[in-house]
Amino acid sequence: RESDLVEILSNTQDKIPDAKISSLPKFPDQDRFVIEVGAEGNTEMVTRALELLRDQFDQAGFHYKEP
């Protein structure tokens, strides 16, 4: 599943290069991991990137939580 996440992040960065995508993995326990994802850029590009990420996470079956 980690490779799915890498593909999603790379795909989003490729489609919206003006939004700089970053990720920070965290391992709260042995059974799961959490990745904090951020996007930097102008409001329009960041909004598009986060919408695309959310859609791809949903399609891949990942839980997506907005701050």
Question: What global pTM score does this model have?
Answer: 0.80
Residue 67 in domain: no
Read out DSSP for the chain? -HHHHHHHHHHHHHH-TTSEEEEEEEEEETTEEEEEEEEES-HHHHHHHHHHHHHHHHHHT------
Residue 55 in domain: yes
Provide the pLDDT confidence category of residue 27 given band limits of 50, 70 and 90.
confident
Tell me the CB-side half-sphere exposure of residue 15, using CA atoms within 13 A: 14
Residue 66 in domain: no
Q: Flag whether pLDDT at 62 surpasses 80.
A: yes
Per the structure, how many domains does the chain have?
1
Residue 40 in domain: yes
pLDDT of residue 54: 92
Residue 46 in domain: yes
Which among 66, 10, 13, 18 has a CA at the least distance from the CA of 44?
Answer: 18
Q: Among all chains, which residue has been given the structure tokens 């951020």? A: 38
Range of the domain at 54: 2-60
Whole-number mean pLDDT of the chain? 89
Residue 8 in domain: yes
